[in-house]
Amino acid sequence: MKNIFIVLLAVLPFYMSAQTATIKIDIDRIIGGIDPKIYGVFMEPIEFRGRPPGSPDAISFNTLYGNLYDPSSPLADENGFRKDYIEAMKELKITNMRWPGGNYVAGYNWQDGIGPKEQRPVRKDLAWGGIDNNHVGTDEWVQLNRSIGSENVVCINLGLGTINDARYWVEYCNLDHGTYYSDLRAKYGNRKPFNVTYWCLGNEVDGSPWIMGHKNAEDYCKIAIEAAKAMRATDNTIKFISNGSSYYESSGKWIDWNWKVITELRGIADYISIHRYWDRADNYYDFVGQSSFDIEEKIIVVHSQIEVARAMYPAMKSVYLSVDEWAPFGQNLLSTLAVAMYLNSFIRHADIVKMANFTMLTSLLGNDREKGTFKTPLFHTFKLFSNNCLGNSVDTYVGCDTFNTEKYKGIPYLDVTTVYSEETNTVYINVVNRHKDHTITTDIITSSGEFTGKAEANIITGDSLTDPFTYDRQDQYNPVAKEIKAEKNSISCSFPAHSFTQIKIGIKK
């Protein structure tokens, strides 16, 4: 008996560390087509002076000036933008960029940012407190998007701005010639119109504690409707992203705000926005579980509201979700896992999430201000999605152990989506193992079609969850590639603790 007990003690750690799971995919059950516009970025000029959370030292930096835009840098192109950032965005195949804000836009006058730079007025940025020389304005933002190969998504000022401001901005950007503002654009060096399609009707206007020109839902809808009317009369080809709530009070008023916007702007808005940033948490499982379920909840609730509105108003045009501000905080492995879970959420809801913008463009690269920019695991994770996950999001069943947080129960350790490309007969399976300590061995089974060839896996993980990424360790940040043997309808794969893995394999029906 004593010897048996000793043997049991010896093998117990193996059984405690080993977990098994099942993933079942069905390429015939399509959730929706994945819109490439979910691989967008957001950019606004934020000047920060102070001490970041957890840092002993005060710092000063600007997300735009002296960073992305720095004419004095040897890396600057002829327009003053850093070529290292531009090439990185091209590598990520960024599809669109939302500008110029953000909270910044609520006090912004777009006419301050046109014409000769030396004649542009210097203003105090009311949102972030910095001094803005307006050297990056409409023409420069458009040129940056041209350099990247991405579309413009312009956010108008419905905080302190006026309806005329908005319609004249459309005139400046989109009319060919023969009007005051279209001819002014030509005078300033851009004869051809910019043809901006996507326009955000304000930013976080419900955010009473922080936004300039805060409005309640009724007043927001009134000005948004009238602004859209004037803007569309100027150019009837444009599309609108309405201002969903960003003020998530426990009272649930954000749901009331969204319902008012969805129903009042029916027939006008093509999208409604969601803004959601990953919450910091001291507890690991709160971090990987709480916010991942929170973004799912927000998407499901707003999608349901749209469906109810469509039932009430059968003639209502289709409205989709634009998650046009999203990001985790920090540059470490935890934030990398958060990026993968965000993108999994957008893919899982591909039928309704049709646009998304990561905050900010400059955060997709690491940046050592003395040594330069570098590619991080966060960059590589985004690239695996943006370069590969196009096509259809398909039904995916996950059977695995779960964990609880204070707010949400039964969170699966594995967060999984599957993307099927009919053009290449390929599936991409995206797996985040949220378990902090355990590898999870998993059988992946297809219930429609057969796997072909060997599976190729790219794995992103690391020893430390919280160590900041550094320039000197960039060679260690590339995904680890491995081949996995596949049977006709199954793959066996082990997912390391706290990791993201993307599996690519052929499939035939």
Distance of CA 325 to the CA centre of its chain: 6
Q: What is the pLDDT of residue 53?
A: 58
* Ordered domains of the chain (ranges, CATH): 18-31+394-508 (2.60.40.1180), 34-390 (3.20.20.80)
Residues 76 and 82: their CA atoms lie apart, in Å, by 4
Q: What's the pLDDT tens digit per position in 261-313?
A: 999 999 999 999 999 999 888 899 999 999 999 999 999 999 999 999 999 99
Averaged pLDDT, 195-208: 97
Q: What is the pLDDT of residue 18?
A: 57
Dihedral angle over CA of 164, 165, 166, 167, nearest 10: 50
Mean pLDDT of the chain: 93
Averaged pLDDT, 490-509: 96
Q: In sequence order, which ranges of 235-375 are alpha helices (DSSP H)?
A: 253-264, 284-312, 333-348
Task: Please tell me what DSSP assigns to residue 486.
Answer: B
412, with CB counted inside 10 A (0-12, 13-18, 19+), is middle
Q: What's the pLDDT tens digit per position in 303-321?
A: 999 999 999 999 999 999 9
pTM of the model: 0.94
Q: What is the pLDDT of residue 8?
A: 33
In the predicted structure, residue 32 carries a pLDDT above the cut 50: yes
In the predicted structure, residue 58 carries a pLDDT above the cut 80: no
Residues 182 and 192: their CA atoms lie apart, in Å, by 9
| CB-facing half-sphere around the CA of 58: CA atoms within 13 A | 3
In the predicted structure, residue 392 carries a pLDDT above the cut 50: yes
Q: Among 53-62, 80-89, 90-99, 111-120, which stretch is predicted with the lowest mean pLDDT?
A: 53-62
pLDDT cut 70: percent of the chain above it: 94
Q: What is the pLDDT of residue 249?
A: 80
Parallel, antiparallel, or unpaired: how do β-strands 271-277 and 239-242 relate? parallel
Q: What is the DSSP annotation of 244-268?
A: ------TT-HHHHHHHHHHHHTTTT
Q: What's the pLDDT tens digit per position in 63-72?
A: 999 999 999 9
Confidence of residue 250 (pLDDT cuts 50, 70, 90): confident
Helix (H) / strand (E) element for 316: namely: none
Confidence of residue 52 (pLDDT cuts 50, 70, 90): low
CB 224 within 8 A of CB 200: no
Averaged pLDDT, 218-233: 98
Residues 505 and 421: their CA atoms lie apart, in Å, by 11
Residues 42 and 483: their CA atoms lie apart, in Å, by 36
Q: What's the pLDDT tens digit per position in 393-419?
A: 999 999 999 999 989 999 999 999 999
For 363, phi then psi, to 5°, come to -85, -5
pLDDT cut 90: percent of the chain above it: 88
Residues 23 and 492: their CA atoms lie apart, in Å, by 10
Q: What is the pLDDT of residue 370?
A: 87
Neighbours of 252 (CB within 10 A): 10
Positive or negative CA dihedral for 102, 76, 355, 142? positive
Residues 395 and 272: their CA atoms lie apart, in Å, by 25
Residues 485 and 491: their CA atoms lie apart, in Å, by 7
Task: Please tell me what DSSP assigns to residue 58.
Answer: -
Helix (H) / strand (E) element for 9: namely: helix 2-17
Parallel, antiparallel, or unpaired: how do β-strands 499-508 and 96-99 relate? unpaired
Q: What is the pLDDT of residue 4?
A: 36
Neighbours of 340 (CB within 10 A): 26
Three-state secondary-structure class, residue 128: coil
Three-state secondary-structure class, residue 360: coil
Q: What is the pLDDT of residue 94?
A: 99
Parallel, antiparallel, or unpaired: how do β-strands 372-374 and 490-495 relate? unpaired
CA angle 399, 278, 66 (to 5 degrees): 135
Residues 279 and 297: their CA atoms lie apart, in Å, by 14
Query: Scanning the structure block, which residue is given the tokens 């909270």?
Result: 103
| CB-facing half-sphere around the CA of 292: CA atoms within 13 A | 32
Q: What is the pLDDT of residue 9?
A: 34
Task: Please tell me what DSSP assigns to residue 186.
Answer: H
